[in-house]
Structure 1
Amino acid sequence: MPNLTGNCSQPDALFDPGAFADWVDTSENPLPLLRSFLKDGIETLKQRFLVGIPATELLPLHAWLVDQILIQACRLHTKKCAEQVALIAVGGYGRGTLHPYSDIDILLLLADETDSVLQEAIGHFISLLWDIGLEVGHSVRTVEECQEAARKDLVFITSLMEARLLFGPEHLFKRLQVAIAPEQMWGSRQFFLAKRAEQATRHHRYHDTAYNLEPNIKEGPGGLRDIQMIQWVSKRYFNTWSFDSLLQHGFLTPLERKELLESQDFFWQLRYGLHTLTGRKEDRLLFDYQIALAKQLGYRAQGPHLAVEQLMKDYYRTAGNIGRLNEMLLQLFEEEILLVNEKVDIRPINKRFQIRNKFLEVTDPQVFKHTPSALLEVFLLLQRHPELKGVRASTVRLIREHCYLIDDNFRADSSNRNLFMEIIRQPRGITHELRRMNKYGVLGAYLPAFGKIVGQMQYDMFHAYTVDEHTLFLIRNLRRFALPQYAHEFPLCSEVFQRISKPKLLYLAGLFHDIAKGRGGDHSELGAKDALEFCLHHGLSHYDSRFVAWLVSHHLLMSMTAQRQDINDPEVVREFAIKVSDEMHLNYLYLLTVADIRATNPNLWNSWKDALLSKLYTATHQALRRGLEHPIDKAERIRDVQDEARQALLKNGWTEQKLDALWKQIDADYFLRHTPNEICWHIEALDQAEPSNGAPRVLVRPHNREADTADTMEVFIYARAHALTFTVTTGTMAQLDLDVLDARIITTCHGFVLESFIVREATAASTKIDLEFRLREIQETLTRRLTEPDQVPSHRSRFIPRRLKVFKFPTRITFTEDCRNCCTVMELTTNNWPGLLSRISQALANCQVQLVNAKITTLGTQVVDVFFICNQEDQPLTPQQQQQLENTIHTYLER
């Protein structure tokens, strides 16, 4: 973390209260002076921050600056009624620290009901503040009115607890303090319960995690509010804001106090920087500001680690520390405030641990020193005792204090290795306890390589979580496959999980799959070496150890095959089957792949990816059962699909003669690329279309037909072949806010084209539309546009997401030849701009290039699209044609 300290020079004339008051008194028109004082003061503080003066020194000065303006403005307008009103700072401003654009909340506390003179004075005072440029939130109340409002409103009583007298009669301010004291309202017990519930609600708004990509440093879990929560409860119970009082009462250790203060200082620095950078109140650490803020705070790139990634790593680790201290202190407060008079129920477990009121605790503070292995045993006991609610705060503190004992000797001890493997082998609580181990610092201490990825973010839109959080989400997903109550979520995964004999190998592969992220080099290979060494040292056989290492090394193989290759091609399936070699490797890899993708970014998972992986799994499973020495060739696969579709259609009234005639019109590859179910659906369109008048036929249905909503949809088009059919289709889909995930094109021998698409809604707004209405809208719009294929839809200006503007990638185009299928494979990597495929299709049409198949892969704000294409002679593109197409695509993308 960069050095955030500095020595603030002594306040100059600008911050001399006596001089300022004299200037106001001698000024004929104080407005310009006050306005200039505010402007100059803010600019001076900003410049001090930019040259390295820490926010901890500037925040009190900023509050003082505003204090002086408010005091002088109030003094000017309340001279005739000075004893009737007190000017009080409340809320965050009342704490005496103020960020550049934070809320300035004040209370004008009245001795009695206002009279006309006082009303007029207050009105002039508030108007002057607005004229000066201060946007204040104000309320005007008597003590009794404050008392009544505070009794009903938790937020208001909290803001009054932070009140600070600025100007006016002190006795009036003291009356307010007496009126809102715990003896009058919101006793410490009631206040604690209400604030704890308030915090839980607030955390839930941020998905109960501090590891959001764009965290709110004030309101989010582990943010400044969590520190204030500790202070509010402390104030209500001990009547002090100081962390020193918590130290004196035994709620904090000196090290924890230091950690809290350093965490607060770091977050103050971030927030001050955000306000300075944006010129407004801003508490969200948005992508737009992260790079600039990292530079402003002195972060520099180090090897493979970007400056912004280092900033965010510090953020996540600090938020984790605050969250842990907040949880620990609230538990201690609960014992002190809520449970102090309750009967203590203690039940021994063994010599080292006991259960106190459903929380696990050590029997002696020296347990970990005498028996370091107890640092792992605590998590095993939590798994074996489901009645436990957690670890007692005092024991959490001891765990943190003794993590230093987990050194090379500790890791080399066979009993500790056995304990760790026992945790992995347990039938319940694996995810919970690995998360707890990570939270308390034990997991990173036991696995130093894991410790390096704690808080490690990847600055892109593909990975939604830090590497450690992603890893633990992955293991959670694997665990859900094992539990019967979640079998409905992923039936095939749950079924496959029952076939694996050693779940621990799967969990270990998940734990190590990304452990080498951020080191440079191939993280899969580096992680495989770590996994092999770990497994051999933890008593696994050579075979099992090599198997875990293989899973780590190949954890991207299945997703890359499914998303970037044509898995309808039996040869692609065969090559994949050769790589996995047997059903055991396939089963484990399939489960790891699904869990990995779902844990990477929940917004990127959909029923189409589920179907792709399921299809590849099933096809590979069949290939392995058949034997790799007896591969299925294309002709055999086509016959099998035709026969299955034929049998289904014959049951629906079709005749052999009619099907034979239809089969002859369609290229054989059509049966290779579609399932029997899809073919039966398509045949309805072919049967009802009228080739004589050339009217297109469009079908649309949810891809997951068992769901009430459609995250992905299937679109099938049967229309007379036209050079611009694909261009019109993709342009129309862009205007309908549809993203294309998959495209397959077949041209019949009698001049018609069969286009099949998998699409999804590009914006969340479309998903709220009635499904039946949406399907009909898509079908009718495509039919209307395809009736006149010469009219290419114009590019509609669609909203470009803010995040897409931040993450920009250079466009890369590569060509390879697919000799087996007599076509060219073009891989395009570029930004996921709205309507991207529509532009690509126009480039293809312009160059007279035919699209045979397309695989669309979205990685956050980046796409990696694979197009199978050929020229007008149904041959692979020549080098000259490739160059022309590449140039044309760049031209269309730059428009």
Structure 2
Amino acid sequence: MDRHYPRSQPDRPVGTHAGGDRRRLRRPDAVARRSAVIERLSAVPATRDCLDLAALATLDDRVDALSGALREARKQADAELHRQFEAGTAIRDLVQGRAWVVEQLVLTAWDRLAPSDAGLELCAVGGFGRGELHPHSDVDLLILLPDDDSTDVAALEQFIQVLWDADLHPGQSVRSVEDCVAEARADVGVATNLMESRLMAGGGRLYQQMRERTEAPTLWPADEFFSAKLEEQDQRHEHFEDTVYNLEPNLKEGPGGLRDMQMIAWVTRRHFGTSTLHGLVEHGFLSEREHEDLVAGREHLWRLRWALHETAGRAEERLLFEYQRRLAEQFGFGDCSESNEPVERFMQGYYRNVMQLERLNERLLQSFDEELLAGRRHLPSADIDEFFRIHHGYLELKDPHVLVQYPELIMRMFLVLADHPDVRGVRATSIRLVREHLYLIDADYRCDQRILDMFLALLKRERLVYSQLARMNRYGVLAALLPEFAQITGRMQFDLFHVYTVDQHTLFVIRNLRRFAYAKHPDRFAHAIEIFKRIERPEVLYLAALFHDIAKGRGGDHSELGAEDARAFVDRLDMAAADRDLVVWLVRQHLLMSRTSQREDISDPEVVSAFAEKVGDQRHLDHLFVLTVADIAATSPRLWNSWKDSLLWELYKAATDALGRGLEHPVDRQASLDETREEAMVELRALGHEDDVVEDCWRHLPDRAFLRLDAEQLVWTTGEVLSGGELPLVAYRRLEDKGISEIFVHAEDFAGLFAVVARELDRMQLNVLAARVVTTADGKSWDIFQVMDAHSQPLYDSDAVRLKRSLVEQLAAREVRPLPPRPVPRRLQPFMGRSEIMLSIRDGVTDLEIAATDRPGLLSAIAEALVSRGLRLHDARVATFGQRVEDMFTITTADGGPLDREACDALESELRKRLDV
């Protein structure tokens, strides 16, 4: 079993022998072995000036002095390695050089502290075993014990303690050979670790036994080893949502990362007995060019990881936002202070690299699967036609030379796969053929009507449309067929709103559309599924999705540029003119519905009328609604919720009514106001309220209240007011269908009322999605706040009761108690740009518009700024879109007049002090 010696528990007893010989004699075998290591690794150029070996040989044996000397030696070596990294030294030399440096430091401690006659052997495992260490990598060690287990425990604890004190971060285990065998048999991860081990000190007898017994074919046969490692990789990829395109990717563990490269090396070593990736070339699994790509990709990740460790000052494996800008500048992509363009280009380079590595990983593992797993051979084999056949469940080209003569087979392959859903995939050899013949997809190929017809036919298939488009993207065919798509491959957007790169987002939009077609996830997409049933030709939607973001990163309006690209492509397709026009319109207007629903007051009939006029007819509205839902839901896993669903559905129904009524007969404001009043009155009458009592309650409400509040809100709030009770009145309700809670505040108005409410909502870490602030003619608030908790859920009753109690108490006291400034969360800090603040005068009042990055305490900070300037708030519209808020406030001076220029300047200065921190 393992025995671990953490730094926090240096006195923990280990082993059964309490005494033991504590002499620290340098054994001749250890010295000789260290000389061999020096001879092998000191030839690496990066190591020549890192350590003074003569000085190490004369170090004091006292523990405190030893750890201090090793720490200083490590610092000096790291400084020299950093200088060489800055000077452009080859990264392979650096990672091997640091492994050599650490090896000398560890052996120096071992020679002085390990019991010389206990028969112990010291081994390096993991990355250290491979001879690869980055600036803050853990130093993984295995100490092999003889069978009698008579080890001097205290000496080993001193050894580990010295390494910790020298900041070498050891990860150690102490095992007998029997322990190693038992652990390796039970855990393929342990077996892999031991497979990469190398002897550092000791006679080698135990090490040799351990290697022979843990690498025995009966312990982990090649096929079982491969299956276990593949399952391990699948689980790891699932943790990262099975995509390389994560916003803050993990260089080591993420798909396409360094662990995937090690996975290939492990299987290669286990199956072929070769310790280098070039063995894959020798056994026909890789071409020389692919081997070069694999090594170059790994070294690219090594350089990034080296720089990331140094920038973070720790063993950080994630490309966090706070490091992406600095690394982009360090790697020469330009100044990131004025634009996100440099960091987006830097990350695009990263994504393209790991995407290439992921493709190689996928194809190699499939090759191993075909080679190693004999259990696959029961799968069917049969001819499909003269060009294609199924080989043990996988599609392959019969003739490896046929693509030169018939390049259209590249496109046809995906049609064949769509028509044969039982096929598991494409054989690795055929994938390589496609990749090697991408040069055949040239300008003539793209204009070939046969190719265009096949592409359109694929989009019309009832099954596997998304699967084949995703496969086309992985093989590089989609980017070759659509050069514009190549420009967005790996293109990230440096914000928290877009979680995936543009190409991955585009494919996820199509995946969502296919889910609507199959009626999947009806709990999340009920409305989209319902409307999708009316779509006669879904290929129109798929084409619109393919082009909707294709112009991202070019500058200018990506919707307009994308519409031009879409027009050029669809006009070559055999489609009806109306369908082609609809594709182009959808690309141009794909943001119209989301912007209208979230940024404008859709209770205003003029807003609905203007939207319906832009849409034009029901067919356009249906397609736009479905595309909008698919687009929002593909932007971030957490972005789509019942609240956004309800907003879009509300707008959809209102626009449908407007289109049914006829655009030449718009509903005016007064008619809408009267309709809301009448609908609410009917409901209140049914609840037992007298008409005259309701009218008396409403007589102080301004007309805009009957536009800003829907009939349901009016019924609820009026009922609460008529229920009696003293002011201030605070009520709440859960709206399960929208996934939110509503808070109603009715109180005597005073200058800090909004600030009090905003403070409490912020203190309870509630997310304010929208706010409707109305002041009655007799000076009372009639305010509704729509909120979610920190987990994007409606409030629990207990939290709502607590909020109500606190609000009533503070509103009664009319006390504004500002919250202390809250730190900006780490993930938001790189996005904290200058807020947009605009003040304008309208009809005797001042409109304040603020667009800023959302963060804890933002609404409260705005409210407190208004209070500090002695201003009155008459109306507010609060809207949150992902990481961005766009709020509008109607304000006046204390005596009810608009702000003059001096007051506007003072307010803007106050707001910037609180917001731009």
Same fold (TM over 0.5): yes
Per the alignment, in what secondary structure is the counterpart of residue 787 of structure 1?
helix
1:153 corresponds to which residue? Answer: 187
After alignment, is 436-445 or 633-642 more displaced? 633-642
CA contact (8 A) 1:698 1:783 kept: yes
The count of residues paired between Structure 1 and Structure 2 equals: 872
Change (3 A) 1:881 1:477: farther
Structure 2: runs of 5 or more not aligned = 1-42
Partners in 2 of 1:51 and 1:632 — Cα distance?
A: 71
> Is residue 833 of structure 1 aligned with residue 855 of structure 2?
yes
Letter in 2 for 1:470: H
Partners in 2 of 1:880 and 1:141 — Cα distance?
A: 77
Per the alignment, in what secondary structure is the counterpart of residue 744 of structure 1?
strand
> Is residue 858 of structure 1 aligned with residue 867 of structure 2?
no
Q: Quote the offset at 1:343 in angstroms.
A: 4.0
Q: 2:228 aligns with which of 191, 194, 199?
A: 194
> Is residue 596 of structure 1 aligned with residue 645 of structure 2?
no
> Is residue 440 of structure 1 aligned with residue 475 of structure 2?
yes
Q: Quote the offset at 1:683 in angstroms.
A: 2.2
CA contact (8 A) 1:564 1:855 kept: no
1:4 corresponds to which residue? Answer: none
Q: Quote the offset at 1:132 in angstroms.
A: 4.0
Q: Quote the offset at 1:567 in angstroms.
A: 1.7
> Is residue 39 of structure 1 aligned with residue 65 of structure 2?
no
Structure 1: runs of 5 or more not aligned = 1-6
Partners in 2 of 1:164 and 1:349 — Cα distance?
A: 51
> Is residue 783 of structure 1 aligned with residue 808 of structure 2?
yes
1:722 corresponds to which residue? Answer: 750
What's the RMSD between the two structures over aligned residues? 2.8
Partners in 2 of 1:390 and 1:866 — Cα distance?
A: 53
Superposition pairs of residues 39-188 of structure 1, within 5 angstroms: 39-78=75-114, 80-81=116-117, 84-115=119-150, 118-119=152-153, 121-188=155-222
Change (3 A) 1:396 1:656: same
After alignment, is 487-496 or 401-410 more displaced? 487-496
Q: Quote the offset at 1:889 in angstroms.
A: 2.7
Change (3 A) 1:235 1:633: same
2:16 corresponds to which residue? Answer: none
Per the alignment, in what secondary structure is the counterpart of residue 567 of structure 1?
coil
Change (3 A) 1:420 1:213: same
CA contact (8 A) 2:775 2:781 kept: yes
1:867 corresponds to which residue? Answer: 889
1:254 corresponds to which residue? Answer: 288
Letter in 2 for 1:71: L
Change (3 A) 1:354 1:427: same
Partners in 1 of 2:57 and 2:708 — Cα distance?
A: 86
**For 1:76-118, what per-residue CA distance to the aligned partner results, in whole angstroms no more than 9, with x for missing partners?**
3457427x122111122101111121111112223332436x5
Per the alignment, in what secondary structure is the counterpart of residue 281 of structure 1?
coil
Partners in 2 of 1:137 and 1:602 — Cα distance?
A: 36
Q: 1:699 aligns with which of 731, 741, 753?
A: 731
Q: Quote the offset at 1:321 in angstroms.
A: 1.5
> Is residue 232 of structure 1 aligned with residue 256 of structure 2?
no
Q: Quote the offset at 1:869 in angstroms.
A: 4.7
Per the alignment, in what secondary structure is the counterpart of residue 88 of structure 1?
strand
Per the alignment, in what secondary structure is the counterpart of residue 166 of structure 1?
strand
Superposition pairs of residues 356-435 of structure 1, within 5 angstroms: 356-435=391-470
Change (3 A) 1:886 1:133: closer
> Is residue 842 of structure 1 aligned with residue 874 of structure 2?
no
Q: Quote the offset at 1:371 in angstroms.
A: 1.5
Per the alignment, in what secondary structure is the counterpart of residue 714 of structure 1?
strand
2:772 corresponds to which residue? Answer: 744
Partners in 2 of 1:26 and 1:715 — Cα distance?
A: 70
Partners in 2 of 1:30 and 1:874 — Cα distance?
A: 76
Partners in 2 of 1:887 and 1:129 — Cα distance?
A: 54
Q: Quote the offset at 1:409 in angstroms.
A: 0.9
Per the alignment, in what secondary structure is the counterpart of residue 634 of structure 2?
helix
What TM-score results when the alignment is normalised by the length of structure 1?
Answer: 0.92
CA contact (8 A) 1:744 1:755 kept: yes
Change (3 A) 1:13 1:801: closer
**For 1:442-470, what per-residue CA distance to the aligned partner results, in whole angstroms no more than 9, with x for missing partners?**
11110000011000011122211111111
Q: Quote the offset at 1:872 in angstroms.
A: 6.9
CA contact (8 A) 1:832 1:863 kept: yes
Superposition pairs of residues 463-482 of structure 1, within 5 angstroms: 463-482=498-517
Q: Quote the offset at 1:535 in angstroms.
A: 0.7
Q: Quote the offset at 1:16 in angstroms.
A: 7.6
Superposition pairs of residues 314-333 of structure 1, within 5 angstroms: 314-333=349-368
Letter in 2 for 1:863: V
Per the alignment, in what secondary structure is the counterpart of residue 98 of structure 1?
coil
CA contact (8 A) 2:835 2:916 kept: no
2:912 corresponds to which residue? Answer: 890
Change (3 A) 1:238 1:560: same
Per the alignment, in what secondary structure is the counterpart of residue 87 of structure 1?
strand
**For 1:686-721, what per-residue CA distance to the aligned partner results, in whole angstroms no more than 9, with x for missing partners?**
11233xxx4222222223x248xx4x3211122222
Letter in 1 for 2:95: L
Change (3 A) 1:480 1:361: same
Partners in 2 of 1:843 and 1:32 — Cα distance?
A: 54
1:685 corresponds to which residue? Answer: 720
1:713 corresponds to which residue? Answer: 741
Superposition pairs of residues 280-291 of structure 1, within 5 angstroms: 280-291=314-325
**For 1:109-134, what per-residue CA distance to the aligned partner results, in whole angstroms no more than 9, with x for missing partners?**
23332436x54553443344345443
Per the alignment, in what secondary structure is the counterpart of residue 744 of structure 2?
strand
Partners in 2 of 1:445 and 1:235 — Cα distance?
A: 35
> Is residue 759 of structure 1 aligned with residue 783 of structure 2?
no
Letter in 2 for 1:795: L
Change (3 A) 1:22 1:565: closer
Change (3 A) 1:486 1:119: closer
1:3 corresponds to which residue? Answer: none
Q: Percent identity?
A: 40
Change (3 A) 1:128 1:893: closer
Letter in 1 for 2:730: V
Per the alignment, in what secondary structure is the counterpart of residue 434 of structure 1?
helix
Q: Quote the offset at 1:874 in angstroms.
A: 7.3
Letter in 2 for 1:828: I
Change (3 A) 1:27 1:787: closer
2:580 corresponds to which residue? Answer: 545
CA contact (8 A) 2:541 2:623 kept: yes
**For 1:362-401, what per-residue CA distance to the aligned partner results, in whole angstroms no more than 9, with x for missing partners?**
1221232222111111112222222122222222111111
Q: Quote the offset at 1:190 in angstroms.
A: 2.0
Per the alignment, in what secondary structure is the counterpart of residue 889 of structure 2?
strand
Per the alignment, in what secondary structure is the counterpart of residue 490 of structure 1?
helix
Partners in 1 of 2:376 and 2:647 — Cα distance?
A: 59
> Is residue 298 of structure 1 aligned with residue 326 of structure 2?
no
Per the alignment, in what secondary structure is the counterpart of residue 805 of structure 2?
helix
Q: Quote the offset at 1:11 in angstroms.
A: 4.8
Change (3 A) 1:30 1:641: closer
CA contact (8 A) 1:743 1:757 kept: yes
Partners in 2 of 1:230 and 1:735 — Cα distance?
A: 50
CA contact (8 A) 1:847 1:884 kept: no
CA contact (8 A) 2:67 2:163 kept: no
Per the alignment, in what secondary structure is the counterpart of residue 771 of structure 2?
strand
CA contact (8 A) 2:51 2:73 kept: no
Partners in 1 of 2:914 and 2:203 — Cα distance?
A: 72
Q: Quote the offset at 1:527 in angstroms.
A: 0.8
What TM-score results when the alignment is normalised by the length of structure 2?
Answer: 0.90
